[in-house]
Amino acid sequence: MDFHGERSGAIHSVSLLVMDRGSDKIQGVNNTSFTSMETAKNDHELSPEKKPSKNLKYPKAVFFIISNEFCERFSYYGMRAILALYLAYLGFTEDQSTMIYHTFVMLCYFAPLIGGVVADAYLGKYKTILYVSLYYAVGNIMLSAASVKSLDINHVVASLIGLFVIGTGTGGIKPCVSAFGGDQFVLPEQERQLEAFFSVFYFAINAGSVISSFLSPVLRENVACFGDDVCYPLAFGVPAFLMCLSVVIFVGGKSMYKINPPSDGNVALDVVKCCSYAVTRKVRTMKHVKKGHWLDYAEDKFSRILIEDTKIVLKMIALLGPTVVFWALFEQQGSRWTFQAKHMDGDIGFFVIQPDQMQTINPVLCLTFIPIFESLIYPLLSKLKIVRSPLQKMVYGGILAAVAFIISGLLELKIEESDPILPSEGIGHLRLYNSLNCPVSVRSDNLGINSNISSFGTISFPQIPITEFKNYTLEAKYGASCNEKDAVLNFALESKKVSTYMFTRNGGVHLMRLGVYGEEDVARSKDGSPKIRLVYGGGNEKVTVLLQNNLDTKNISISDHVSSQEKLKSSSDYSLIVNGKLSNSTIRLKSGGVYTLLLNDLKDINFSLFVVTEPYKMNMLWQLPQYIVITAAEIMFSITGLQFCFTQAPVSMKSVMSSLWLLTNSLGNIVILVIAGVKIFEKQSSEFFLFAGLMALVMLLFIFLAKNYKYVDFTTQENQSDQQNATTEVSKI
């Protein structure tokens, strides 16, 4: 694809930019600093005056900053990895959880606009980082405390307040930390040391995010605390501790820091003031004064350079439109894709993957793919004349994002195929258990039933039309080994319920409704944990059953032949201990499954395990293709997009473009909020296809805009060697 007006000589090395999961990933550089990007030649070689000085020591203070960033990113991504499932744990539906999750993410990417202004114009970077980090840590502690179910508080309100504090806190320090690290270097003499700093800084970010994204789900699922089967207080508490530790580490380096005072103002704020003033002046004077451009009406108060640079920025804003939709797709890894994984089987034999651990795939793939794209894919595509410019990369990246959601939609269709048929209005379910040592033939002409039930077996009749609560008759013929006469038995069915009955011997053969727990629940548990109910076909005695493995112990009592339905913690093998006696056999329960265990004999512990609702059949590894494609899309669209904004913006406007880039992520989350809130489709697969189609349509518009875009070369502009300006530019990325 050869867009009109694109120049193949545009800076296109993605290795110039490094990433930290999402649009906040640009934290530093690999091959050159952002300052040198503004001023260096195409070969990125340092001029003689920019070569590092041998007399300047590497600033030790940056190691405190790097350690601080590792802890903060560990805290943020550890908390965010389990957030969607925690919201469902609080009782929110998946749609409600998705909306709250993306409101939080939207806040995280809007707050940097405020944090940047506060740091630049009022407090300075050091005080902003310190004060906001303390505030941020309080939010983490609040969220951890709110997740303790035994506390007598409103857990939902406390959790939402904690999330608000965390969102504004992490966003508030986002534009400051990397810039503060850059302040510790003397430029241009230490430009190469600055490059090395950003490489280590980048590693710390991704190390923190990868480790915490994997560890937090383990703490959530594999630890029981405060009388609960899961331990969100610990899963949130570890990130809270790391956030507190990050503050201690940051303060510990104060004596070594180079702390610059706040600057005279904030460029982004100046642009807003300029635009507002220009609009006001035009409205007041348009009848008497005519200008070539509406921004020219601000020339009596603002500099010509600011006005002209603002014009360029406004022309670039149109190209940011597709970025909003891209983030709407990309950010669903933590919500919709996590919920999709929750409806899948994580058992891979030697390890059980937790749904929220799938988010770890993206940063790991990103670290792997960047050098592959740089050294192999981009050179090959350029040689084939397929991709030769940033905007072309973004087009293909956007297309890949749409493909990723087509894949996720197709996968969701397969998942939906295994959804259980639930009783609904006018529909009832009937399930019969046979605890006899002979088969039973059952027949009911008015219900269309004519089937055989094996000895110690079961049979189910879903979707029986029922207009009202009604008694029915069932003809039963028993096998010879039972030595029983045929009988006509009465039973009742109800709409919207599953009625369960058991053939049992109590002086004679009876069709017995299974006690007060007779209404069987065939729906899967909200968190995908297996559910089981125990039925005893012998006498009416009390039976105690212990289901046990190394992760879970569940004590279940059987009364009146049946137990309540219990949710088990793990998807694995369980030992069976009946009235203190260990069975020689184990039972295997899988994620999403609903089971009934029929005990036939207490002495020898004979039992049958029946699957009421099939467990999840699709393995979580089937999500790998969509994660691979969305990561490739991220590299081609996101990294290239921010690089494009940075290189095509005037020197004075780079911080403005960086702010707008963060804003597109915030707006992308609003798109998700709208679509999830309206609930256009009942099926999640249809929503995935909707997002794919929306991305495809937006990319058609983007192709049109890209064809008409003229690249700008700012390398001839006057170099800005002032250190404060240089590190300020770094801070905005």
DSSP 356-407: GGGGGHHHHHHHHHHHHIIIIIHHHHHHTTS--SHHHHHHHHHHHHHHHHHH
171 and 247 in a common domain: yes
- Per-residue model confidence (pLDDT) at position 469: 65
- Per-residue model confidence (pLDDT) at position 8: 30
- Per-residue model confidence (pLDDT) at position 508: 75
Element (H, E) at 698: helix 684-707
Q: Residue 382: is it exposed, middle or buried by C-beta count within 10 angstroms (0-12/13-18/19+)?
A: middle
- Per-residue model confidence (pLDDT) at position 553: 87
Distance CA 322, CA 125 (A): 32
Q: How sure is the predictor about 268, in pLDDT bands with cuts at 50, 70 and 90?
A: confident
Q: How sure is the predictor about 715, in pLDDT bands with cuts at 50, 70 and 90?
A: low
- Per-residue model confidence (pLDDT) at position 493: 86
Give the residue numbers spanning the domain of 671: 14-418+619-731
446 or 614, greater pLDDT: 614
550 and 627 in a common domain: no
Q: How sure is the predictor about 44, in pLDDT bands with cuts at 50, 70 and 90?
A: very low
The residue-averaged pLDDT of 399-423 equals: 94
Residue 431 three-state SS? strand
The residue-averaged pLDDT of 295-305 equals: 92
- Per-residue model confidence (pLDDT) at position 104: 97
Instruction: Report pLDDT digits (tens) over 174-215.
Output: 888 988 998 899 888 888 888 888 888 888 988 999 999 999
The residue-averaged pLDDT of 323-345 equals: 95
603 or 164, greater pLDDT: 164
173 and 55 in a common domain: yes
Going across the sheet that includes 566-567, the strands are 566-567, 531-536, 594-601, 606-613
Q: How sure is the predictor about 292, in pLDDT bands with cuts at 50, 70 and 90?
A: confident
Asked if residue 640 belongs to a domain, the reply is yes
Asked if residue 216 belongs to a domain, the reply is yes
Q: What whole-number percentage of the chain has pLDDT above 70?
A: 89
Provide CB contacts within 8 A for 351, sequence distance 6+.
Answer: none
Residue 605 three-state SS? coil
Q: How sure is the predictor about 694, in pLDDT bands with cuts at 50, 70 and 90?
A: very high
172, pLDDT greater than 60? yes
Q: Are strands 509-513 and 449-453 parallel, antiparallel or unpaired?
A: unpaired
Tokens at residue 430, please? 């009937």
The secondary structure of 153-215 as a DSSP string is S-HHHHHHHHHHHHHHHHHHHTTTHHHHHHHTS-TTTTHHHHHHHHHHHHHHHHHHHHHHHHH
Cα 417 from chain centroid (whole Å): 24
CATH of the domain at 623: 1.20.1250.20
- Per-residue model confidence (pLDDT) at position 662: 87
HEC letters along 255-267: HHCCCCCCCCCCH
Out of 37-46, 325-334, 589-598, pick the least confident.
37-46
Let me know: does 369 contact 638? Beta carbons within 8 Å: no
Cα 100 from chain centroid (whole Å): 12
- Per-residue model confidence (pLDDT) at position 670: 96
556, pLDDT greater than 60? yes
The residue-averaged pLDDT of 517-538 equals: 82
Q: How sure is the predictor about 35, in pLDDT bands with cuts at 50, 70 and 90?
A: very low
Model-level pTM? 0.84
Asked if residue 6 belongs to a domain, the reply is no
- Per-residue model confidence (pLDDT) at position 531: 93
498 or 723, greater pLDDT: 498
- Per-residue model confidence (pLDDT) at position 7: 31
Burial 402-417 (b: 16+ CB within 10 A, else e): bbbbbbbbebbeebee
The total number of structural domains in the chain stands at: 2
322, pLDDT greater than 80? yes
Q: Which residue has the tokens 């220009």?
A: 278
Provide CB contacts within 8 A for 87, sequence distance 6+.
Answer: 96, 97, 100, 101
Amino acid at 659: S
- Per-residue model confidence (pLDDT) at position 40: 37
- Per-residue model confidence (pLDDT) at position 542: 86
**CA 568 → CA 419, 529, 532, 547, distances in Å?**
20, 6, 8, 9
Out of 42-56, 623-637, 639-653, 677-691, pick the least confident.
42-56
- Per-residue model confidence (pLDDT) at position 497: 85
Tokens at residue 47, please? 């001029």
Taking phi over 0 as left and psi of -120 to 50 as alpha, with beta for the rest, 679 belongs to left
Looking at 552, 582, 613, the residue that finishes a domain is 613
726 and 599 in a common domain: no
Let me know: does 170 contact 108? Beta carbons within 8 Å: yes
* DSSP H helical ranges for 597-683: 624-633, 640-648, 654-678
Out of 22-26, 574-578, 580-584, 638-642, pick the least confident.
22-26
The secondary structure of 120-155 as a DSSP string is IIII-HHHHHHHHHHHHHHHHHHHHHHT-TTSSS-H
49, pLDDT greater than 70? no
150 and 109 in a common domain: yes
Tokens at residue 246, please? 């990050």
Out of 222-226, 463-467, 598-602, 625-629, pick the least confident.
463-467
Q: How does the average pLDDT of the chain come out, rounded?
A: 85
Q: Of 411, 342, 355, 345, nearest to 615 (Cα)?
A: 345
18, pLDDT greater than 50? no
Provide the CB-side half-sphere exposure for 516 (13 A, CA).
Answer: 4
Q: What is the dihedral of CA 666, 671, 674, 676, to 10 degrees?
A: -100
Distance CA 654, CA 649 (A): 6
Tokens at residue 108, please? 């995280």
705 and 637 in a common domain: yes
| Rg of the chain in Å (alpha carbons) | 32
Asked if residue 7 belongs to a domain, the reply is no
Amino acid at 571: S
Around Cβ 205, how many Cβ atoms within 10 Å? 29
Asked if residue 711 belongs to a domain, the reply is yes
Taking phi over 0 as left and psi of -120 to 50 as alpha, with beta for the rest, 115 belongs to alpha
Distance CA 119, CA 262 (A): 7
Distance CA 514, CA 519 (A): 8
Asked if residue 519 belongs to a domain, the reply is yes
Asked if residue 2 belongs to a domain, the reply is no
Distance CA 732, CA 176 (A): 8
451 and 411 in a common domain: no
647 and 723 in a common domain: yes
Q: Which residue has the tokens 């001029």?
A: 47
Distance CA 633, CA 692 (A): 13
115 and 72 in a common domain: yes
Looking at 589, 613, 637, the residue that finishes a domain is 613
519, pLDDT greater than 70? no
The residue-averaged pLDDT of 255-271 equals: 86
Around Cβ 538, how many Cβ atoms within 10 Å? 17
Distance CA 596, CA 295 (A): 73
Looking at 590, 613, 636, the residue that finishes a domain is 613
Q: Of 287, 255, 314, 238, nearest to 126 (Cα)?
A: 255
624 and 603 in a common domain: no
Q: What is the largest CA-CA distance in the chain?
A: 109
408 and 431 in a common domain: no
625 and 609 in a common domain: no
Tokens at residue 512, please? 């017995």
The residue-averaged pLDDT of 238-253 equals: 96
Asked if residue 4 belongs to a domain, the reply is no
Q: How sure is the predictor about 587, in pLDDT bands with cuts at 50, 70 and 90?
A: very high
335, pLDDT greater than 80? yes
